[in-house]
Amino acid sequence: MASVLVPVFYVFVLFGGLFVFGHFYRKRSASQQIEPYFPRHHERDTYVTLLQRTNPPASDALLKAALVRRAIADVQRILRIREDKPALQNLLQKGSIGDDLWNSLLAAEKELEAEIVEVHAEANTFVEGWGQVLFGTASEMLANEKTRAIVEQIPLERARNEVKYGKRTSGDQKPVTLLSTPTGPTVPKPSASPKSSTSLVPPTPGAGADGISSEGEASPRIPRSAKKSKKRK
Protein backbone atom coordinates (compact mmCIF):
# COMPACT_ATOMS: atom_id res chain seq x y z
CA MET A 1 0.00 0.00 0.00
CA ALA A 2 2.81 2.38 0.92
CA SER A 3 4.54 1.64 -2.38
CA VAL A 4 1.47 2.89 -4.28
CA LEU A 5 0.98 6.09 -2.26
CA VAL A 6 4.56 7.32 -2.70
CA PRO A 7 4.35 7.83 -6.51
CA VAL A 8 0.89 9.35 -6.18
CA PHE A 9 2.14 11.75 -3.53
CA TYR A 10 5.17 12.63 -5.70
CA VAL A 11 2.97 13.42 -8.73
CA PHE A 12 0.61 15.47 -6.57
CA VAL A 13 3.45 17.55 -5.12
CA LEU A 14 5.03 18.07 -8.55
CA PHE A 15 1.88 19.26 -10.29
CA GLY A 16 0.81 21.31 -7.26
CA GLY A 17 4.14 23.11 -7.22
CA LEU A 18 3.93 23.86 -10.94
CA PHE A 19 0.40 25.20 -10.55
CA VAL A 20 1.38 27.51 -7.69
CA PHE A 21 4.47 28.73 -9.56
CA GLY A 22 2.44 29.44 -12.72
CA HIS A 23 -0.21 31.32 -10.76
CA PHE A 24 2.24 33.65 -9.07
CA TYR A 25 4.25 34.10 -12.28
CA ARG A 26 1.20 35.17 -14.28
CA LYS A 27 0.13 37.49 -11.49
CA ARG A 28 3.55 39.12 -11.38
CA SER A 29 3.72 39.46 -15.18
CA ALA A 30 0.29 41.11 -15.24
CA SER A 31 1.23 43.57 -12.52
CA GLN A 32 4.55 44.39 -14.16
CA GLN A 33 4.24 47.32 -16.60
CA ILE A 34 5.70 46.94 -20.05
CA GLU A 35 8.33 49.54 -20.79
CA PRO A 36 7.14 51.69 -23.72
CA TYR A 37 9.00 51.18 -26.95
CA PHE A 38 8.72 54.83 -27.98
CA PRO A 39 9.08 57.94 -25.81
CA ARG A 40 6.17 60.17 -24.97
CA HIS A 41 4.27 61.50 -27.97
CA HIS A 42 4.81 65.25 -27.48
CA GLU A 43 3.24 66.20 -30.84
CA ARG A 44 0.00 64.48 -29.85
CA ASP A 45 0.02 66.19 -26.47
CA THR A 46 0.56 69.56 -28.16
CA TYR A 47 -2.37 69.04 -30.51
CA VAL A 48 -4.69 67.93 -27.70
CA THR A 49 -3.66 70.92 -25.58
CA LEU A 50 -4.37 73.35 -28.44
CA LEU A 51 -7.67 71.63 -29.15
CA GLN A 52 -8.79 72.04 -25.55
CA ARG A 53 -8.00 75.75 -25.39
CA THR A 54 -11.15 77.83 -25.00
CA ASN A 55 -9.98 81.27 -23.91
CA PRO A 56 -8.93 82.19 -26.54
CA PRO A 57 -9.51 79.17 -28.79
CA ALA A 58 -6.75 78.12 -31.14
CA SER A 59 -7.15 79.05 -34.79
CA ASP A 60 -7.73 76.46 -37.46
CA ALA A 61 -4.39 77.20 -39.09
CA LEU A 62 -2.57 76.52 -35.83
CA LEU A 63 -4.51 73.31 -35.26
CA LYS A 64 -3.81 72.13 -38.79
CA ALA A 65 -0.08 72.81 -38.37
CA ALA A 66 -0.07 70.90 -35.07
CA LEU A 67 -1.92 68.01 -36.70
CA VAL A 68 0.61 67.88 -39.55
CA ARG A 69 3.48 67.75 -37.05
CA ARG A 70 1.66 64.95 -35.26
CA ALA A 71 1.32 63.04 -38.53
CA ILE A 72 5.06 63.52 -39.24
CA ALA A 73 5.90 62.01 -35.85
CA ASP A 74 3.59 59.07 -36.61
CA VAL A 75 5.32 58.50 -39.95
CA GLN A 76 8.68 58.41 -38.17
CA ARG A 77 7.37 55.76 -35.80
CA ILE A 78 5.91 53.73 -38.65
CA LEU A 79 9.29 53.67 -40.41
CA ARG A 80 11.01 52.75 -37.15
CA ILE A 81 8.71 49.79 -36.54
CA ARG A 82 9.12 48.58 -40.13
CA GLU A 83 12.88 48.57 -39.69
CA ASP A 84 13.02 47.09 -36.17
CA LYS A 85 10.32 44.42 -36.27
CA PRO A 86 12.06 41.92 -38.65
CA ALA A 87 15.35 42.29 -36.80
CA LEU A 88 13.78 41.84 -33.36
CA GLN A 89 11.79 38.85 -34.55
CA ASN A 90 14.98 37.22 -35.82
CA LEU A 91 16.77 37.94 -32.53
CA LEU A 92 13.83 36.57 -30.55
CA GLN A 93 13.94 33.31 -32.46
CA LYS A 94 17.65 33.00 -31.71
CA GLY A 95 17.08 33.78 -28.04
CA SER A 96 19.20 36.93 -28.06
CA ILE A 97 16.45 39.13 -26.56
CA GLY A 98 13.69 38.54 -24.05
CA ASP A 99 9.96 38.56 -24.47
CA ASP A 100 9.59 41.91 -22.74
CA LEU A 101 11.17 43.82 -25.64
CA TRP A 102 9.10 41.95 -28.21
CA ASN A 103 5.91 42.57 -26.23
CA SER A 104 6.84 46.24 -25.98
CA LEU A 105 7.15 46.40 -29.77
CA LEU A 106 3.78 44.72 -30.28
CA ALA A 107 2.12 47.11 -27.82
CA ALA A 108 3.68 50.09 -29.63
CA GLU A 109 2.41 48.75 -32.95
CA LYS A 110 -1.17 48.46 -31.67
CA GLU A 111 -0.99 51.94 -30.15
CA LEU A 112 0.29 53.34 -33.44
CA GLU A 113 -2.60 51.76 -35.36
CA ALA A 114 -5.07 53.48 -33.05
CA GLU A 115 -3.11 56.74 -33.41
CA ILE A 116 -3.33 56.61 -37.22
CA VAL A 117 -7.09 56.09 -37.10
CA GLU A 118 -7.47 59.03 -34.73
CA VAL A 119 -5.33 61.37 -36.85
CA HIS A 120 -7.27 60.34 -39.94
CA ALA A 121 -10.55 61.21 -38.22
CA GLU A 122 -9.21 64.53 -36.92
CA ALA A 123 -8.05 65.55 -40.39
CA ASN A 124 -11.48 64.87 -41.86
CA THR A 125 -13.03 67.23 -39.33
CA PHE A 126 -11.17 70.14 -40.93
CA VAL A 127 -11.54 69.21 -44.61
CA GLU A 128 -13.41 66.21 -45.92
CA GLY A 129 -10.96 63.76 -47.48
CA TRP A 130 -7.86 65.39 -46.00
CA GLY A 131 -7.11 62.32 -43.92
CA GLN A 132 -6.43 60.29 -47.06
CA VAL A 133 -3.60 62.58 -48.21
CA LEU A 134 -2.33 63.80 -44.84
CA PHE A 135 0.17 60.99 -44.28
CA GLY A 136 1.46 61.30 -47.85
CA THR A 137 2.10 65.00 -47.25
CA ALA A 138 3.77 64.19 -43.93
CA SER A 139 6.07 61.68 -45.64
CA GLU A 140 7.15 64.27 -48.23
CA MET A 141 7.81 66.87 -45.53
CA LEU A 142 9.86 64.37 -43.53
CA ALA A 143 11.99 63.56 -46.58
CA ASN A 144 12.45 67.30 -47.24
CA GLU A 145 13.61 67.88 -43.67
CA LYS A 146 16.14 65.06 -43.92
CA THR A 147 17.50 66.43 -47.19
CA ARG A 148 17.78 69.94 -45.79
CA ALA A 149 19.59 68.64 -42.71
CA ILE A 150 22.13 66.88 -44.92
CA VAL A 151 22.68 70.01 -47.04
CA GLU A 152 23.18 72.13 -43.93
CA GLN A 153 25.83 69.72 -42.67
CA ILE A 154 27.96 70.08 -45.81
CA PRO A 155 29.77 73.33 -44.75
CA LEU A 156 30.44 71.88 -41.29
CA GLU A 157 31.86 68.68 -42.75
CA ARG A 158 33.96 70.70 -45.19
CA ALA A 159 35.40 72.84 -42.39
CA ARG A 160 36.06 69.74 -40.29
CA ASN A 161 37.89 68.06 -43.15
CA GLU A 162 39.95 71.18 -43.78
CA VAL A 163 41.01 71.23 -40.15
CA LYS A 164 41.73 67.50 -40.17
CA TYR A 165 43.56 67.17 -43.47
CA GLY A 166 44.81 70.72 -43.91
CA LYS A 167 43.56 73.49 -46.15
CA ARG A 168 45.15 73.73 -49.56
CA THR A 169 46.11 77.31 -50.36
CA SER A 170 47.31 78.85 -53.57
CA GLY A 171 50.94 78.69 -52.35
CA ASP A 172 50.70 74.91 -51.88
CA GLN A 173 49.95 74.34 -55.53
CA LYS A 174 52.90 73.38 -57.68
CA PRO A 175 53.85 76.01 -60.27
CA VAL A 176 53.37 75.00 -63.83
CA THR A 177 56.73 75.13 -65.71
CA LEU A 178 56.67 75.92 -69.40
CA LEU A 179 59.01 74.06 -71.70
CA SER A 180 61.65 76.45 -73.01
CA THR A 181 64.51 75.86 -75.41
CA PRO A 182 68.02 76.20 -73.98
CA THR A 183 69.73 79.45 -74.68
CA GLY A 184 72.56 79.16 -77.17
CA PRO A 185 74.54 81.31 -79.58
CA THR A 186 72.32 83.42 -81.69
CA VAL A 187 72.40 82.44 -85.33
CA PRO A 188 72.17 85.41 -87.66
CA LYS A 189 69.23 85.28 -89.98
CA PRO A 190 70.08 85.10 -93.66
CA SER A 191 69.71 88.36 -95.48
CA ALA A 192 66.99 88.79 -98.00
CA SER A 193 67.81 87.57 -101.49
CA PRO A 194 68.85 90.24 -103.99
CA LYS A 195 66.09 89.40 -106.37
CA SER A 196 63.52 90.14 -103.79
CA SER A 197 65.16 93.29 -102.53
CA THR A 198 66.59 94.97 -105.71
CA SER A 199 64.44 94.03 -108.63
CA LEU A 200 61.24 92.19 -109.47
CA VAL A 201 62.65 91.03 -112.87
CA PRO A 202 63.39 87.29 -112.91
CA PRO A 203 67.07 86.41 -113.53
CA THR A 204 68.40 85.04 -116.78
CA PRO A 205 67.94 81.27 -117.16
CA GLY A 206 71.08 79.37 -116.27
CA ALA A 207 72.61 82.29 -114.42
CA GLY A 208 72.39 83.48 -110.88
CA ALA A 209 71.71 86.93 -109.60
CA ASP A 210 75.37 87.98 -109.99
CA GLY A 211 75.95 86.46 -113.40
CA ILE A 212 77.12 83.15 -111.99
CA SER A 213 75.77 80.09 -113.74
CA SER A 214 74.33 77.17 -111.92
CA GLU A 215 77.50 75.17 -112.60
CA GLY A 216 79.60 77.76 -110.75
CA GLU A 217 81.31 79.36 -113.83
CA ALA A 218 81.03 83.02 -114.85
CA SER A 219 78.92 83.56 -117.94
CA PRO A 220 80.53 85.67 -120.73
CA ARG A 221 79.23 89.17 -121.15
CA ILE A 222 78.61 90.50 -124.66
CA PRO A 223 79.23 94.26 -125.22
CA ARG A 224 76.40 96.40 -126.51
CA SER A 225 78.27 97.48 -129.66
CA ALA A 226 78.64 93.87 -130.77
CA LYS A 227 74.94 93.32 -130.29
CA LYS A 228 74.07 96.31 -132.49
CA SER A 229 76.42 95.14 -135.25
CA LYS A 230 74.79 91.77 -135.31
CA LYS A 231 71.37 93.34 -135.68
CA ARG A 232 72.52 95.49 -138.63
CA LYS A 233 73.77 92.44 -140.46
pLDDT tens for 41-61 read: 999 999 999 999 988 899 999
CA–CA separation, 205 and 98 (whole Å): 116
Could you tell me the maximum CA-CA distance found in the chain, to the nearest angstrom? 184
The DSSP secondary structure of 64-78, one letter per residue, reads HHHHHHHHHHHHHHH
pLDDT at 200: 39
Name the residue with higher pLDDT: 175 or 56: 56
pLDDT at 145: 93
3-state secondary structure (DSSP) of residue 212: strand
| 0.75 surpassed by pTM | no
- Report the domain count for the chain: 1
In a domain, 107, yes or no: yes
Dihedral (C-alpha) 223, 224, 229, 232: value to the nearest 10 degrees? Answer: 150
Looking at mean pLDDT, say which of 6-15, 77-86, 164-173 comes out highest: 77-86
In a domain, 14, yes or no: yes
In a domain, 38, yes or no: yes
Predicted confidence (pLDDT) per residue in 137-153, tens digit: 999 999 999 999 999 99
In a domain, 216, yes or no: no
Q: How confident is the model at residue 168 (pLDDT cuts 50, 70, 90)?
A: low
In a domain, 219, yes or no: no
In a domain, 1, yes or no: no
- Looking at the predicted structure, is the pLDDT value of residue 66 above 70? yes
- Residue 56 belongs to domain spanning: 10-166
Average pLDDT over residues 199-219: 43
pLDDT at 31: 59
Predicted confidence (pLDDT) per residue in 18-36, tens digit: 878 777 767 666 556 678 8
Q: How confident is the model at residue 169 (pLDDT cuts 50, 70, 90)?
A: very low
Average pLDDT over residues 72-92: 94
In a domain, 176, yes or no: no
The sign of the CA dihedral 125, 129, 131, 136 is negative
Q: What percent of the chain has pLDDT over 70?
A: 65
pLDDT at 197: 41
Cβ partners under 8 Å of residue 46, min gap 6 = 66, 69, 70
Mean model confidence pLDDT for the chain? 76
pLDDT at 29: 62
